[in-house]
């Protein structure tokens, strides 16, 4: 492996590139138009433009990715996480092109990528699964029959996805039809696969996952388990290892996880996800990729999981057994997202105007941006991952508290203030939290007067900010390949037409015009407005319809989240201001009502 193309963006692209550089492997970055200034683009040895912001035209464009691999001379592809990381078709295309695929073999991705098939495989391997169906739901009647068979509450889930997308919970029989319809809609929107299935919904269990590492010679080890129960909208925000479970569960989960990996001939880094209720655990799904929270397993084991993933992909054996893997201390990761926790974690894209990371013993930051960077509404809301390690859990929590206090981010609201309070909340202190605990805590949390976190005595000179100094270099794209060029004879006035960044690279690329749904800004109480910038996935009403208070009138996808837009009052629909597929700005009226 001499040159590696990373088919991803953000902090995971940087994470992979750093390890590749340590191993003497050249790196190739890919980027969309809004990501020209992204950190991973500047860090790589080469960078190539894929296309516009839309993932289908850039990060999900398999033919374009393979074309870049050929042009750059890359001999391997790492998919990161998200996007095409668990796409067996992409893995097969990479392999067919004569490149090394840094991930498990495609058949393992297929086996675990479809949740119905994965449940069937785990049952065959003797791994306990959440009570539920092993066949697809074809209709609301099927969903009602599943409720009779497995009880309420009932989870209706996308078979082709994960991460909480395409998952709806019905607590009563009256909610089943809506849950079935919404789960199907989300499954189609996110995964182009409307198939859903049903299983019993466990009330506030722990979500515990086991890190697996396997080679192509049948050697499999685990790198410990992580407690990932603290979630909002089924997306993790606070993770720690070792998990807070009984020794009986820990031992059983580790044994079952190794058995599951061997059953499908797994040969890369992966994660077995389970739900734990008391002294019982149940298989949930397997992620056939590196995960966001792999960092804490690295901190307690001392194993670079990306390096191991690259070694295994290159055909090297692990070279060690389970008895050689040792765990030390306690690690915690929090996800710093550009979201407003006080507004139901509403996505908040924008530009970061000042930025300073915490530092010191046992602190690691995997960041996607710095000062002057933009959190795009086209992708997820992550700004960075903040990771701490300490000899004990109490010491790790204290270190996390200090690290959050030392973290300064200005320009966009973030989850930092909420995470600071969550870290010291009763359920986190005593370790009794489950998957429902974070959202319950969020309903009682009151932000501080400033609503942000910054060091109390910070010196402005210590905070990285943007500058308007003249650039030393300019960047140009030649046939979509990025080059950084030093300017020796600058025309009067600078000649670059753009504002400069502190590192000397210009940001003056004019944005392309886009077709966005326009509409009146919200001016009265009869308008149902978009709470954030996003894409309209569905419009559920038309002019003349009668709606009730709380009824869903539209669904907007923003920063990889589905957001149901509900009527705040009853009335008759007077106008519909956006259509399916349109992009809308925050506060634009989607629907206007005539009150009844």
In the chain, domain spans: 3-102, 131-200, 206-444, 516-595
For residue 320, is the peptide bond before it cis, meaning its omega torsion is within 30 degrees of 0?
Answer: no
pLDDT digits (tens, 9 = 90+) for 22-61: 999 999 999 999 999 999 999 999 999 999 999 999 999 9
Where helices occur in 212-352 by DSSP H, the ranges are 247-263, 294-301, 305-313
pTM of the model: 0.81
Dihedral over Cα of 467, 469, 472, 475: its sign: positive
Q: What is the pLDDT of residue 6?
A: 98
Largest CA distance in the chain: 77
- Count how many residues are written for the chain: 596
Dihedral over Cα of 243, 249, 252, 257: its sign: negative
Q: What is the pLDDT of residue 464?
A: 52
Measure the N-to-C terminal CA separation of the chain; round to a whole number of Å. Answer: 68
Do 75 and 99 touch, CB atoms closer than 8 A?
A: yes
The residues near 596 (Cβ < 8 Å, ≥ 6 apart) are 546, 570, 571, 572
Provide the CATH topology of domain 131-200.
Dna Ligase; domain 1 (3.30.1490)
Q: What is the pLDDT of residue 584?
A: 82
User: 505: closest CA among 516, 496, 513, 492?
Assistant: 496
Cβ count within 10 A of residue 569? 14
Q: What is the pLDDT of residue 491?
A: 61
Q: What is the pLDDT of residue 441?
A: 97
CA distances from 86 to 43, 90, 103, 129, 562 (A): 25, 8, 9, 21, 21
User: 562: closest CA among 591, 535, 529?
Assistant: 535
pLDDT digits (tens, 9 = 90+) for 347-374: 999 999 999 999 999 999 999 899 999 9
Do 111 and 134 touch, CB atoms closer than 8 A?
A: no
Phi/psi of residue 473, nearest 5 degrees? -135, 160
- pLDDT under 50 in the chain at which residues? 450-462, 465-471, 494-523
Do 252 and 259 touch, CB atoms closer than 8 A?
A: no
Angle value at C-alpha 567, between 566 and 571, nearest 5 degrees? 155
Q: What is the pLDDT of residue 187?
A: 86
Do 475 and 482 touch, CB atoms closer than 8 A?
A: yes
Provide the CATH topology of domain 3-102.
Rossmann fold (3.40.50)
Angle value at C-alpha 239, between 233 and 240, nearest 5 degrees? 160
CA 577, CA 579: separation in Å to the nearest integer? 7
User: 100: closest CA among 257, 334, 310?
Assistant: 310
CATH 3.30.428.10 fits 206-444, yes or no: no
CA 229, CA 236: separation in Å to the nearest integer? 7
User: If you classify domain 516-595 with CATH, what class do you get?
Assistant: mainly beta
Burial 238-255 (b: 16+ CB within 10 A, else e): bbbbbbbbeeebbebbbe
């Amino acid at each position: 492996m001499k040159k590696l193309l990373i088919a991803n963006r953000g902090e995971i692209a940087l994470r992979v590139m750093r390890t590749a550089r340590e191993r003497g492997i050249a790196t190739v970055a890919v980027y969309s138009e809004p990501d020209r200034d992204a950190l991973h683009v500047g860090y790589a040895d080469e960078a190539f433009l894929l296309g516009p912001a839309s993932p289908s035209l850039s990060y999900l464009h398999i033919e374009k990715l393979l074309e870049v691999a050929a042009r750059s001379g890359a001999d391997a592809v790492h998919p990161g996480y998200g996007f095409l990381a668990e796409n067996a078709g992409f893995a097969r295309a990479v392999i067919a092109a004569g490149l090394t695929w840094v991930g498990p073999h495609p058949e393992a991705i297929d086996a675990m990528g479809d949740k119905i098939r994965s449940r069937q495989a785990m049952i065959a391997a003797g791994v306990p699964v959440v009570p539920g169906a092993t066949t697809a739901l074809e209709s609301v009647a099927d969903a009602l029959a599943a409720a009779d068979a497995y009880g309420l509450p009932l989870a209706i889930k996308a078979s082709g996805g994960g991460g909480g997308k395409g998952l709806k919970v019905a607590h009563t029989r009256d909610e089943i039809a809506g849950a079935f319809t919404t789960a199907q809609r989300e499954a189609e929107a996110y995964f182009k696969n409307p198939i859903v299935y049903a299983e019993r919904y466990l009330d506030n269990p722990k979500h515990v996952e086991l890190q697996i590492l396997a080679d192509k010679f049948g050697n499999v080890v685990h790198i410990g388990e992580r407690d990932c129960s603290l979630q909002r909208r089924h997306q993790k925000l606070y993770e720690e290892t070792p998990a807070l479970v009984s020794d009986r569960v820990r031992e059983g989960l580790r044994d079952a996880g190794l058995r599951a990996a061997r059953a499908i001939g797994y040969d890369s880094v992966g994660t077995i996800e389970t739900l734990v209720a008391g002294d019982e655990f149940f298989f949930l799904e397997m992620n056939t990729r590196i995960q966001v929270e792999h960092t804490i397993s690295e901190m307690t084991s001392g194993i670079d999981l990306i390096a191991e993933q690259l070694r295994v992909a290159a055909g090297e054996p692990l070279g060690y057994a389970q008895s050689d893997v040792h765990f030390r201390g306690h690690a915690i990761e929090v996800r710093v997202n550009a979201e407003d926790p006080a507004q139901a974690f509403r996505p908040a894209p924008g530009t970061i105007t000042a930025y300073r990371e915490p530092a010191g013993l046992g602190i690691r930051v995997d960041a996607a941006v710095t000062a002057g960077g933009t959190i795009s509404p086209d992708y997820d809301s992550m700004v960075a991952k903040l990771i701490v390690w300490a000899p004990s859990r109490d010491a790790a929590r204290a270190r996390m508290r200090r690290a959050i206090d030392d973290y300064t981010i200005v320009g966009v609201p973030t989850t930092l203030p909420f995470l600071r309070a969550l870290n010291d909340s009763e359920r986190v202190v005593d370790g009794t939290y489950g998957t429902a605990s974070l959202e319950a805590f969020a309903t009682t949390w009151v932000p501080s007067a400033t609503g942000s976190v910054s060091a109390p005595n910070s010196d402005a000179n210590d905070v990285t900010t943007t500058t308007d100094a003249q650039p030393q270099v300019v960047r140009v794209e030649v046939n979509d390949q990025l080059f950084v060029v030093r300017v020796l004879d600058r025309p009067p006035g600078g000649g670059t037409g753009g504002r400069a960044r502190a590192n000397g690279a210009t940001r003056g690329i004019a944005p392309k015009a886009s077709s966005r749904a326009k509409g009146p800004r919200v001016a009265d109480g009869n308008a149902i407005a978009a709470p954030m910038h996003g894409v309209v996935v569905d419009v559920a009403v038309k002019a003349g319809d009668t709606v009730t208070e709380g009824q869903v009138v539209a669904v907007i996808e923003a920063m990889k989240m589905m957001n149901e837009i509900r009527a705040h009052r009853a009335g008759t629909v007077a106008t519909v201001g956006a259509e399916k597929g349109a992009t809308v700005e925050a506060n634009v009226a989607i629907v206007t009502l005539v009150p009844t």
